């Protein structure tokens, strides 16, 4: 998932005396990752994100058919001439093959960038219409188990970071947190400061009455009625959050230690207190599989890391030399990890099932 951090928060000390040291125990060695069947797509295609509700219900999104010519002239600059626009891609793994869907309203010029599958009958996607045109526009759609339906976006912002529950879905939208429920959008009260360049970076849902959001002004928690700032964590810019259960929540961020740059850090909630945890190598997205393995995915560089006790280990991936991973998901209740990505011409799918 794609985050921008521009707000520098003044330091008051992130972790108080209640923040305890001590990394979690290492999980058993997971099954090796290997190349997996890819969906049949047009040339010049790629996958951007993936989400699963079970071993036979894995959704992936991206684009296909895009063609551009990169150019560079010394003294004049460089750029890309867009020859053919991308076509939106939504595919679903049913246990033995990929099925392709045609999302409504995407036409022949769109890219789908994110997907969140809450259940086989509740899947949300976001992306961009006319991404290389003069008037790009946000795109949102939902699968109800029978068909896809395009959802109008709120005026003035582009929904991203979808996180669904059984009655609706949460989205980051501009500087704010929005909810889609009962056919309408509602901007949430989150205690957002009236400052430039703040953002909600990631949302993680446990249930209709419990969710977390990583924002540049605080780690936020939903209790079924209101969003409030999690106490005891001080001032920091929160970049990511993964809620596994009521007794296990991971969050990453940046804090000011008085130097010339912000320091990366990670904390873990164990049901009693927030504990300092080994920080990720860079600005990764966290995924936890059912065997207890915590993974960190860096889509920009196409890298994958695994937490082994007190340190992160870089995982060698079976990607082509010109390919990279862009997204990852765990299959609920299993040790299976799915990764998707792209090369300049074809999609990439990797898993350990």
Pair of tokens at residue 186 = 């509602």
pLDDT of residue 83: 83
**How far is residue 176's CA from residue 192's CA, in Å, rounded to a whole number?**
8
On whether the CB atoms of residues 297 and 17 are closer than 8 A, the answer is no
pTM: 0.89
How is the chain split into domains, by residue range? 34-351
Q: Which is nearest to 89 in space by CA: 45, 54, 38? A: 45
**How far is residue 2's CA from residue 284's CA, in Å, rounded to a whole number?**
10
CB neighbour list of residue 166: distance below 8 Å, 6 or more residues apart = 118, 119, 122, 208
DSSP code, position 317: -
CA atoms within 13 A on the CB side of 137: 13
**How far is residue 268's CA from residue 251's CA, in Å, rounded to a whole number?**
6
On whether the CB atoms of residues 347 and 62 are closer than 8 A, the answer is yes
For residue 289, the Cα-to-chain-centroid distance in whole angstroms is: 15
Q: What does pLDDT average to in each consecutive run of 10 residues of the chain (353 residues)?
A: 36 38 59 97 97 98 91 83 91 97 92 98 98 94 97 95 97 96 96 90 98 97 97 94 98 91 95 96 94 96 95 97 97 97 97 96
Q: Which residue has the tokens 């400052």?
A: 195
Q: Which is nearest to 162 in space by CA: 153, 152, 172? A: 172
The beta-carbon contacts of 180-183 under 8 Å, at least 24 apart in sequence, are: 180/140, 180/151
On whether the CB atoms of residues 302 and 343 are closer than 8 A, the answer is no
Fold of 34-351: Methylamine Dehydrogenase; Chain H (2.130.10)
Strand order in the sheet with 285-288: 285-288, 294-298, 303-308, 311-314
On whether the CB atoms of residues 343 and 42 are closer than 8 A, the answer is no
pLDDT of residue 27: 54
């Amino acid at each position: 998932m794609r985050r921008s951090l521009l707000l520098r928060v003044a330091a008051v000390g992130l972790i108080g005396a209640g923040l305890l040291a001590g990394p979690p125990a290492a999980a058993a060695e997971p099954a090796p990752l290997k190349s997996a069947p890819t969906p049949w797509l047009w040339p010049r295609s790629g996958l951007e994100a993936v989400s699963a509700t079970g071993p036979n219900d894995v959704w992936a999104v991206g684009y296909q058919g895009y063609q551009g010519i990169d150019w560079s002239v010394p003294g004049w600059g460089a750029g890309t001439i867009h020859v053919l626009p991308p076509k939106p891609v939504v595919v679903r793994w049913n246990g033995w093959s990929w099925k392709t869907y045609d999302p409504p309203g995407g036409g022949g010029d769109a890219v789908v960038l994110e997907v969140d599958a809450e259940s086989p009958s509740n899947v949300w996607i976001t992306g961009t219409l006319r991404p290389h045109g003069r008037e790009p526009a946000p795109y949102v759609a939902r699968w109800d188990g029978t068909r896809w339906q395009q959802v109008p976006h709120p005026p003035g912002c582009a929904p991203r970071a979808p996180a669904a529950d059984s009655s609706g879905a949460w989205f980051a939208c501009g500087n704010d947190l929005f909810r889609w429920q009962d056919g309408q959008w509602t901007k949430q009260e989150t205690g957002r400061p009236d400052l430039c360049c703040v953002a909600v970076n990631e949302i993680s849902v446990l249930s209709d009455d419990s969710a977390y959001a990583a924002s540049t002004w605080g780690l936020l928690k939903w209790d079924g009625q209101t969003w409030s700032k999690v106490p005891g964590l001080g001032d920091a810019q929160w970049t990511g959050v993964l809620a596994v259960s009521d007794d296990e929540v991971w969050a990453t961020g940046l804090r000011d230690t008085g130097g010339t740059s912000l320091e990366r850090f990670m904390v873990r909630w164990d049901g009693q207190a927030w504990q300092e945890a080994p920080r990720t190598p860079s600005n990764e997205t966290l995924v936890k599989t059912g065997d207890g393995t915590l993974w960190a995915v860096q889509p920009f560089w196409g890298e994958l890391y695994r937490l082994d006790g007190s340190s992160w280990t870089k995982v060698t991936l079976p990607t082509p030399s010109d390919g990279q991973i862009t997204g990852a998901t765990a299959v609920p209740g299993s040790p299976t990890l799915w990764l998707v990505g792209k090369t300049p011409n074809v999609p990439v799918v990797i898993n350990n099932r």
